[in-house]
């Protein structure tokens, strides 16, 4: 905003240089392309692949056909889809040096706002797409407030989004009067319960969001700027990147992802509710961090996040299939998070990453 003469003096050349450096750093940290996947950051991904393979092995050994069947794989992917979309958005915010604790509450708020009687009436009169756009707008709008608070209000991301977490869930409860809002727009439920090539639309949405996220982070200026800002906001600012505007965009992006997740959750449950998305912030952060994105920012990986989400979804599934006691499941889950992060640290310390 209030740019000092020094800032103004920064040339376009500097911007390009910083972005190039960030890109170089990124290439070093997480190389793109198949060949590069095996080197460097692949140490990371290799650990994740191993972990997932190990889980799948446990699943097959203990569950056999029950685990390996196509139906079961689809069940795992459908479970992963909703939280996966949120986690992709979270990857951007964390890579950019921030954090968003409000994602679960935003899913709840979006789901409630787009299923109010008036929204449904309009959707019935015009088109079901009205529900979808409402959800996306609410998510993005709440994200915008988060972003403005962090970037221009100077509020620490942890606190700004903590406040949003409380307020958004409270607002969702006020709007819905803590009742479950059932969607009775036939077009909407029909459209989203569809399969494409035998695969649930929810899974396709996750795939599309992940691919777009990967391109955005690895192949665009936007992605390079995100990495630069997360790595060193001050240097990025001096190099002429509009750090504040970019930060706002990151929070809008994660808000948008929450809107998409809300639509997916509504299609899965046919209801909008203020209780939707409980503890999603923790699930998403866990998936992102296990995936190898640096919590301090400056390094991010979409592929890692996707693996992180799949690992948790598979874990839940293996638990159910093996009929483990309820408390043992929660205990093991925590244990596995620690083991995964320790393993990941060991892998990332190896040369070449």
Q: How far is the CB of 42 from another protein (least distance, A)?
A: 30
| Of the candidates 220, 237, 230, 261, the residue with the CA atom closest to the CA atom of residue 157 | 230
Which residue, 179 or 346, is less far from another protein as judged by CB? 179
Note whether 220 and 246 are within 8 A (CB). no
Q: How far is the CB of 336 from another protein (least distance, A)?
A: 13
Q: How far is the CB of 113 from another protein (least distance, A)?
A: 17
Helix, strand, coil percentages (3-state) for the chain, rounded to 5, are 75, 0, 20
Which residue, 112 or 250, is less far from another protein as judged by CB? 112
Close Cβ partners of 91 (under 8 Å, ≥ 6 residues apart)? 213, 217, 288, 291, 293, 300, 301, 302, 305
Which residue, 13 or 68, is less far from another protein as judged by CB? 68
Angle at 340 between CA 338 and CA 342, to 5 degrees: 70
Q: How far is the CB of 288 from another protein (least distance, A)?
A: 18
Q: What is the DSSP string of 35-62?
A: HHHHSTTHHHHHHHHHHHHHHHHHHHHH
Taking the chain, what is the end-to-end CA distance rounded to the nearest angstrom? 37
Angle at 17 between CA 94 and CA 298, to 5 degrees: 15
Would you tell me which residues interact with another protein (CB under 8 A)?
A: 66, 69, 71-72, 75-76, 78-79, 82-83, 173, 177-180, 182, 265, 268-271, 273, 275-280, 313, 316-317, 319-321, 323-326, 329-330
Q: Any alpha helices (H) in 126-242, and if so which ranges?
A: 129-151, 157-176, 186-192, 201-219, 221-231, 233-238
331 forms beta bridges with: none
Q: How far is the CB of 121 from another protein (least distance, A)?
A: 19
Q: How far is the CB of 104 from another protein (least distance, A)?
A: 9
Which residue, 62 or 242, is less far from another protein as judged by CB? 62
Which residue, 129 or 320, is less far from another protein as judged by CB? 320
| Of the candidates 71, 75, 104, 81, the residue with the CA atom closest to the CA atom of residue 202 | 81
Question: Hey, is 200 helix, strand or coil?
Answer: strand
Q: How far is the CB of 209 from another protein (least distance, A)?
A: 16
Q: How far is the CB of 179 from another protein (least distance, A)?
A: 8
Note whether 335 and 136 are within 8 A (CB). no
Which residue, 76 or 241, is less far from another protein as judged by CB? 76
Question: Hey, is 199 helix, strand or coil?
Answer: strand
- Chain-centroid distance of CA 261 in Å reads 9
Q: How far is the CB of 178 from another protein (least distance, A)?
A: 4
Which residue, 98 or 277, is less far from another protein as judged by CB? 277
Angle at 144 between CA 131 and CA 192, to 5 degrees: 25
Which residue, 254 or 265, is less far from another protein as judged by CB? 265
Which residue, 232 or 273, is less far from another protein as judged by CB? 273
């Amino acid at each position: 905003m209030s740019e000092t003469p020094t800032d103004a003096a920064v040339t376009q050349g500097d911007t390009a240089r910083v972005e190039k450096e960030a890109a170089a750093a990124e290439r070093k940290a997480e190389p793109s392309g198949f060949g590069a996947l095996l080197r460097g950051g692949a140490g990371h991904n290799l650990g994740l692949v191993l972990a997932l393979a190990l889980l799948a092995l446990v699943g097959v050994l203990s569950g056999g056909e029950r685990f390996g069947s196509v139906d079961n794989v689809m069940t795992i992917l459908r479970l992963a889809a909703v939280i996966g979309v949120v986690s992709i958005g979270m990857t951007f915010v964390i890579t950019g040096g921030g954090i968003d604790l409000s994602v679960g509450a935003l899913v709840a708020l979006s789901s409630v706002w787009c299923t109010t009687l008036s929204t449904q009436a309009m959707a019935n009169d015009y088109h079901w797409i009205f529900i979808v756009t409402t959800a996306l707008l609410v998510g993005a709008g709440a994200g915008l407030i988060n972003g403005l608070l962090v970037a221009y209000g100077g509020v620490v991301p942890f606190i700004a989004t903590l406040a949003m977490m409380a307020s958004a869930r409270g607002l969702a409860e006020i709007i819905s009067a803590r009742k479950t809002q059932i969607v009775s727009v036939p077009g909407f439920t029909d459209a989203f319960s569809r399969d494409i090539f035998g695969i649930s639309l929810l899974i396709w949405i996750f795939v599309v969001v992940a691919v777009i996220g990967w391109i955005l982070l690895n192949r665009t200026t936007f992605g390079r700027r995100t990495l630069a800002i997360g790595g060193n906001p001050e240097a990025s600012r001096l190099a002429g990147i509009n750090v504040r505007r970019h930060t706002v965009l990151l929070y809008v992006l994660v808000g948008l992802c929450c809107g998409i997740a809300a639509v997916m959750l509504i299609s899965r449950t046919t209801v909008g509710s203020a209780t939707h998305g409980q503890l999603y912030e923790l699930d998403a952060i866990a998936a992102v961090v296990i995936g190898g994105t640096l919590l301090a920012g400056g390094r991010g990986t979409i592929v890692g996040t996707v693996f992180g989400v799949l690992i948790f979804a598979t874990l839940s599934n293996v638990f159910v299939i093996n009929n483990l006691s309820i408390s043992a499941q929660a205990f093991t889950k925590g244990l596995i998070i620690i083991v995964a992060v320790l393993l990941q640290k060991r892998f990332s310390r190896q040369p070449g990453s």
